[in-house]
Amino acid sequence: MLGVRCLVLGVWKRATEEGKSEIGNRKSEITIQGYPRANGTVGVRNHVLVLPTVGCSCHVAAKIAEGLPEAVAISHQHGCAQIGDDAAATFRTLTGTGANPNVGGVLVVALGCEQWAAEAFADEVRKAGKPAEIVGIQKEGGTSKAIARGRELLGGIADQVLRQERQACPFDRLVIAMECGGSDSFSGLTGNPLVGEIADRAVAEGATVIVSETTEFIGAEHLLATRGAFPEIGEDARKMVLDCEKVCRFYGADLTGSNPSPGNIEGGITTIEEKSLGCLHKGGHSPIQEVLDYAVAPTSRGLVLMDTPGNDIESVAGMVAGGATLILFTTGRGTPLGCAVAPVIKIATNTPLAESMAENMDFNAGLIADGKETMAEAADRLWALMLEVANGRLTCSEALGHREFGIRRTAPTL
């Protein structure tokens, strides 16, 4: 398994500085009220994050966070006995979450014998220009002492972070991630094309848009290959999809032979290209500027692709670790998912869902299918909502306390 993954992973980023310059120079006239960070990025939230370095420190991290209403603790079971690219991706996801512009400061909660030194985590956060402190369970002498010391340190971080106020920031600093989950036959007709329209508008304003979920691009890779801003990028995108298929075959799964499924065909999907385009469409029509490995930060503005799984929690976590500050998430069946440090705008693809799960749905794209709104009208309304959320309006998943987080694994735990 590891061998396969090592073979298929390569360095995909090849965007040239020359090519990036046009889109990188776009200046938006639109301003949002955000949190400018020392490294030039802009957050739309100002979280105080409690970050466990290893599964063994998650309980202590959660207890520390209970002492501060504004704190967010993430939980995971990793950070020990991992190997190769998989270990690197876990470290990158954890530190990327801490460095995300929506995070104002981080308390690193260590055990003491885990895979990576706690200092390495804190350094990544400090490099992003934000305060970071460390508490170690072994160093403090057990759970209770670590919780007490952690709460002291967290209070100090919060003092620095929570006094920051929102300021006018250019829209072009936003990094918007597109996700679809719990899809239905309307996803490709209403929600995803609508989100694609927002992607096109955001790219025109100079923002960064990340589109991912590699498994759902299978069948559209020859079309992706024509979408690169430079020939190498299109080829990288194509390679990303074909490599994903290789991994599937290694495990005896063939994603092309069964696609579209008999159920898809009955529902009206004719070819695998059509199915994948329905998913890919949420990235809009812009040229692809960059192809990124999981949880890697884009260096380009404009539309970028990231290699993530179709699993929504892991896909969103990867894009957020790469720097996404706002998520547009379409769903037809209805998923309540949120995200640890980024607001998720949940878009129902059909009106019955918008009504049955009203507390979870921020937006009803079903009005397009109902004939009550054109695509452009719905896009205007979603764009306005997105700006409100960037300015601080809580989304449904935030208000309900959803803080999902999960890391993609590509190798077994030893």
Residues at the site binding another protein, with contacts judged by CB under 8 A: 185, 188-189, 193, 219, 222-223, 256, 265, 267-274, 277-278, 281, 285, 368-372, 374-375
- Residue keyed to tokens 């949880």: 295
The span from the CA of 289 to the CA of 228, in Å, is: 6
Containing 364, the helix (H) or strand (E) segment is strand 363-364
Q: Closest CB to another protein among 172 and 221?
A: 221
Q: Closest CB to another protein among 189 and 345?
A: 189
**394: which DSSP letter?**
P
Tell me how far, at minimum, the Cβ of 26 lies from another protein, in Å: 23
Rg (CA), the chain: 21
Task: Name the token pair of 23.
Answer: 């889109």
- Residue keyed to tokens 């205007």: 380
Tell me how far, at minimum, the Cβ of 398 lies from another protein, in Å: 31
Task: Name the token pair of 35.
Answer: 């949190």
Tell me how far, at minimum, the Cβ of 277 lies from another protein, in Å: 5
Tell me how far, at minimum, the Cβ of 386 lies from another protein, in Å: 21
Question: From the CB of residue 135, how many other CB atoms can be counted at a distance below 10 Å?
Answer: 26
Q: Closest CB to another protein among 32 and 224?
A: 224
Residues 6+ apart with CB under 8 A from 301: 20, 23, 24, 26, 172, 203, 206, 207, 208, 289
- Burial class of residue 59, CB neighbours in 10 A (0-12, 13-18, 19+): middle
Residues 6+ apart with CB under 8 A from 147: 60, 63, 64, 67
Tell me how far, at minimum, the Cβ of 222 lies from another protein, in Å: 6
DSSP letters for 278-330: HHHGGG-SSPEEEEE-TTPPPSSSEEEEE---S-HHHHHHHHHHTT--EEEEE
- Residue keyed to tokens 């030039």: 40
Instruction: Tell me the one-letter amino acid at 102.
Output: N
Q: Closest CB to another protein among 140 and 373?
A: 373
Rounded to 10 deg, the angle between the 84-99 and 118-127 helix axes is 50
Are 307 and 159 in contact by the 8 Å Cβ rule? The answer is: no
Tell me how far, at minimum, the Cβ of 311 lies from another protein, in Å: 24
The span from the CA of 130 to the CA of 341, in Å, is: 15
Q: State phi, psi for 308 to the nearest 5 degrees.
A: -130, 165
Q: Closest CB to another protein among 88 and 375?
A: 375
Q: Closest CB to another protein among 146 and 178?
A: 178
Q: Closest CB to another protein among 260 and 322?
A: 260
The span from the CA of 250 to the CA of 243, in Å, is: 11
Q: Closest CB to another protein among 133 and 243?
A: 243
Q: Closest CB to another protein among 180 and 189?
A: 189
Tell me how far, at minimum, the Cβ of 190 lies from another protein, in Å: 8
Tell me how far, at minimum, the Cβ of 272 lies from another protein, in Å: 6
Tell me how far, at minimum, the Cβ of 147 lies from another protein, in Å: 53
Tell me how far, at minimum, the Cβ of 370 lies from another protein, in Å: 7
Q: Closest CB to another protein among 270 and 413?
A: 270
